[in-house]
Amino acid sequence: MEQKYNPHEIEAKWRSIWPKERDSYKLQPGDEPYYVLDMISYPSSEGLHMGHWRPYTIADVWARYNTLLGKKVLSPVGFDAFGLPAENAAIKNGRHPADYTVQSMGNFTRQIQEMGKMYDWSTLINTSSPEYYKWTQWIFTQLYKNGLAYKKAAAVWWCPSCQTVLANEQVISGECERCGSEVIRKNLSQWFFKITDFADDLLSFEGLNWPAQVKTLQTNWIGKSQGAEIDFKVVNSEDVIRVFTTRPDTLMGVTYIVVAPEHTLVTALMTDETKGKVEAYVLDASKKSDIDRMADDRTKTGVFTGSYVIHPITNAHIPVWVADYVVGTYGTGAVMAVPAHDQRDYEFAQVYDLPIQTVIEPVVGTPQEHPEYRQSIVALVHDPKQDRYLTINWGEMGGTLLIGGGREEGEDPVACAQREIEEETGYSNVAFINKTETIHHSYFAHSKNVARAIDAVGVSFELASDATTATRLEAAEQGKFTVEWLTADEADKRIIDPLHRCVFERFAKGNVYTGYGVLVNSGEFDGLTSEVAKDKIVAHLESQGRGRLTTQYRLRDWLISRQRYWGAPIPVVTCEKCGEQVVPDDQLPVVLPKDVEFLPTGGSPLERHPSFKHTTCPTCGGDAIRETDTLDTFVDSSWYFLRYTDPKNPSAPFSLEGVKAWLPVDFYVGGTEHSILHLLYARFVMKALHRLGHVPYHEPFQTFFGNGMVYLNGKKMSKSKGNIVNPDDMVKRYGVDAMRGYILFMGPADQDVEWQENGITGVSRFLDKAWQSFAKVDSSNNATSLSPAIQKAYQDVNAHLQRFTFNRCISSLMIALNEVNGHVNKAEAEVLIRLFAPFFPHFAEEVWSNLGHTSSIFEATWPEVKIEASQTASYVVQVNGKLRATLDVLATAEENEVIALASELTAVKSHLEGKSIEKTIFVAGRIINFVVR
């Protein structure tokens, strides 16, 4: 059967044999369900590109691997055919979106099937079909009925090219996520989903195996910040200006108040004298685009309103200014300005010559110079290895610290840390601030004090699953470090507090001091540390009803309405008598009519379709008007993974049993560019459905694998840049398996890679050589022993699969093939080819068949190989850490024997002569290091 490897023939053959539809979402008793998913894509006529191939290949490898492990794998497929991208492409091609997407889906289907993906086409869904969007609309009505969908007038982003509003998440650096046009602000009445209701829930990634980077991105996007609201009563008026601040400890340093130009009180605040100037300023600000406001030149501008407010503690009169450095949409749209301790306020004060009042003084110096502030140091950590003492300053870290793991069951971690620290240090006034439930990775990273302390002692943090934590805990358990608490006197003698060094640096750079410290010029609060002062000042205000603790988020509600045609109609009807109401379930779907003048003109196209717009009221039967906006396509894709578990169900969006069995998705693959779009929306919808009792879980994706992008000439591949590599051409030349192999071999799957055309020849040659080796297998040879090379390949491929280092899987297979040098016995071939199978499915299937098997290799099981211990051990021999020789000995050799042999090696001996051996490092089976002098 010696013949040349002909990938095209083999691949076409197996694709015609493999079943396309398998109903794999239907579970049988005893099945172990495993859900592998890649992100639903919108079908474009341009076809598949590298952006599809990479995640698709990764997901397919994982699906096939898990199939071989004996799991029942669901690997579904569908198209997100609704939405702007599809509609824009249709318009460009002069077609109706419905026809255009049907054609594109046909092309896509053919191309995907040519990839040899293990998709189950019986799951096929199309978000633009009434059978699907009926349930997208149903989800809207469910959220509406529970107060999670609402319409309101707001300043929203508008894309002048796409002629529609956009969600905040869809504006990338001031440009439309789809077309790249500069967006502008408009005041419009729009529909929103109340994602802010879930802000805190979305901050927790507990139990999820997600890349830290994506978690950080989402955490920053949500932007939680804790502080206080403080009310400033306007002089000679009943009006109150409410400000938000994270620094209530600086209240005594407030020298003016700033409101945003959009603030509702601006008109009331201006006086006859200032009216002209203020109105001109506000008008000017409204004309300024956000792009201008984002420009580099940030010279602060503003104008005095003519009004004053009363300071809630001193009763002093404080001037109120309008300035556009305060944004109207965050917090309360007003700030208390503390120019002494805030960079922006300082700059503004400089421009308009406003008073600057210092109220915080940093603690400069060492603790022994300032014993009175010792309360702000919460932990002293001793690292015996380096004999150094570290402090942890709670104010810097904002999180939960578990000291030594002595937490009793159910005990609050903060309380525990406080108790332990107080017990251990004898410090009585330990100050805690920012008591958040968990430490997020970002907090952890920018607190150098804490990071240092953890490294030194392995203090356990309550972090979401994070590899570095495990390593550190391990170190602590192995007793590499101990925690030693000093008395204050002992510590004072030896400690240098890193925080204080940091303070010096800030001053050296000439910045405004924005850190924590001790209050001065603050009357009754003088001498308190920032941490303590915050609590006391807020408590004081609260007792008078002038302030309270509060939390702000950067996250805004999700704007879901679009003034475009190609989307699910928002299922709302407004009747003069009965008011606004959602369409009842039995009248869903609200069908999107086809005969619509859909070219974007700024208004909703459905508005111009009288028989759609004018309808009857579901309640009273009278005349009523339909909502003519359509839903953002991200709504369609925020629940599709649920539909796959029961894709044809006509009476429900999904079945509870299906969701219970399959969700959360075990392995989800896609580009990290969706970190704060799709991935955040999908989590929100899942949490909302969970709150309403429709699903038993609140997270959709257990493991998310974010694949990197493929670049060409240093830039993301895109048609407009003209730097596209067409996968089809590669497949035509080298075959699908070579293409898959190369996609994986290029580099780590989670990192961006630069496309190198030549690289694929290496994989192609490898397959060719492998083919020759398998073809030579002597099937009459009954030997069962497996060569060390095959054993190693088995070990390595397994290890690399666990770590998702697919590039190393391929190189391990290459190494094995080089090692066996064209000769494998039948037993070895049967193991090796199954290791090939997830990566090179067609190739493996053909070889498997040639080896005499009548059923598919994917009905076989992943091999189990017993690893035999090696007979010999190979030592590296060093002198003073420099490599001098290698030494092969029997694995059973004793330590002193090996050392004796090593010291006699000529290459070693010459470096030992005339010197005395101070120490000999011996690591069994690995290394010998002679330390000489």
Contact between 929 and RNA per CB under 7 A: yes
Residue from 68, 232, 135 nearest 833 by CA: 68
Note the Cα 9 to chain centre separation in Å. Answer: 42
- Which residues within the stretch 815-834 sit at the binding site for RNA (CB under 7 A)? 815, 818
Do 891 and 873 contact (CB within 8 A), yes or no?
Answer: yes
CB of 814 to RNA, least distance (A): 4
**φ and ψ at 629, to 5 degrees?**
-80, 160
Three-class SS state of 72:
strand
- Which residues within the stretch 173-202 sit at the binding site for RNA (CB under 7 A)? 173
Q: Is 218 exposed, middle or buried (0-12, 13-18, 19+ CB in 10 A)?
A: buried
Q: Which stretch binds RNA (CB under 7 A): 27-35, 218-226, 783-791, 834-842?
A: 218-226
Q: Which stretch binds RNA (CB under 7 A): 75-83, 313-321, 743-751, 854-862?
A: 743-751
Contact between 154 and RNA per CB under 7 A: no
Three-class SS state of 379:
strand
Q: Is 769 exposed, middle or buried (0-12, 13-18, 19+ CB in 10 A)?
A: middle
Q: Which stretch binds RNA (CB under 7 A): 154-162, 191-199, 355-363, 758-766?
A: 758-766
Q: Measured from the CB atom, is 588 or 877 closer to RNA?
A: 877
Contact between 469 and RNA per CB under 7 A: no
Q: For the chain, how big is the Rg over CA atoms in Å?
A: 33
Region of 405 (left: φ > 0; alpha: ψ -120 to 50; beta: rest) is: left
- Which residues within the stretch 526-565 sit at the binding site for RNA (CB under 7 A)? 552, 554
Among 756, 781, 785, 872, binds RNA (CB under 7 A): 756
CB of 381 to RNA, least distance (A): 13
Among 298, 493, 732, 915, binds RNA (CB under 7 A): 298
Among 335, 401, 495, 833, binds RNA (CB under 7 A): 335
What gap in Å lies between CA 680 and CA 172, rounded to an integer? Answer: 16
CB of 25 to RNA, least distance (A): 35
Contact between 923 and RNA per CB under 7 A: yes
Q: Measured from the CB atom, is 676 or 831 closer to RNA?
A: 676
Q: Which stretch binds RNA (CB under 7 A): 276-284, 404-412, 812-820, 833-841?
A: 812-820
Contact between 618 and RNA per CB under 7 A: no
Among 65, 566, 639, 745, binds RNA (CB under 7 A): 745
Among 47, 515, 671, 747, binds RNA (CB under 7 A): 747
Contact between 516 and RNA per CB under 7 A: no
Rounded alpha-carbon distances, angstroms, from residue 505 to 359, 393, 500, 501, 515:
20, 17, 9, 7, 12
- Which residues within the stretch 242-271 sit at the binding site for RNA (CB under 7 A)? 244-247, 260
The size of the chain, in residues, is 933
What gap in Å lies between CA 166 and CA 188, rounded to an integer? Answer: 12
Residue from 571, 695, 586 nearest 642 by CA: 695
Match 């406003």 to its residue by tokens.
354
Per-position x/- string for 38-77, each x denoting binding to RNA as judged by CB under 7 A, each - no binding: ----------------------------------------
Q: Which stretch binds RNA (CB under 7 A): 38-46, 77-85, 740-748, 895-903?
A: 740-748
Contact between 438 and RNA per CB under 7 A: no
What gap in Å lies between CA 157 and CA 182, rounded to an integer? Answer: 10
Helix (H) or strand (E) holding 507: helix 498-508
Q: Measured from the CB atom, is 105 or 753 closer to RNA?
A: 753
Q: Measured from the CB atom, is 212 or 377 closer to RNA?
A: 212
- Provide CB contacts within 8 A for 211, sequence distance 6+: 672, 704, 705, 706, 750
Q: Measured from the CB atom, is 247 or 678 closer to RNA?
A: 247
Among 391, 790, 878, 893, binds RNA (CB under 7 A): 878
Q: How many CB atoms neighbour CB 916 within 10 A? A: 8
Note the Cα 328 to chain centre separation in Å. Answer: 28
Check residue 404 and report its DSSP letter.
T
CB of 409 to RNA, least distance (A): 32
Among 11, 342, 396, 828, binds RNA (CB under 7 A): 342
- Which residues within the stretch 668-697 sit at the binding site for RNA (CB under 7 A)? 676
Q: Measured from the CB atom, is 217 or 912 closer to RNA?
A: 217
Note the Cα 428 to chain centre separation in Å. Answer: 40
**φ and ψ at 267, to 5 degrees?**
-60, -45
What gap in Å lies between CA 844 and CA 848, rounded to an integer? Answer: 6
Q: Measured from the CB atom, is 90 or 390 closer to RNA?
A: 390
Q: Give me 170's structure tokens.
A: 């869809």
Q: Is 918 exposed, middle or buried (0-12, 13-18, 19+ CB in 10 A)?
A: exposed
Q: Which stretch binds RNA (CB under 7 A): 291-299, 534-542, 827-835, 852-860?
A: 291-299
What gap in Å lies between CA 914 and CA 932, rounded to an integer? Answer: 10
- Which residues within the stretch 372-401 sit at the binding site for RNA (CB under 7 A)? 385-386
CB of 407 to RNA, least distance (A): 25
Among 48, 162, 278, 326, binds RNA (CB under 7 A): 326
- Which residues within the stretch 344-363 sit at the binding site for RNA (CB under 7 A)? 344
Q: Give me 474's structure tokens.
A: 């391990």
Q: Give me 787's structure tokens.
A: 């060569």
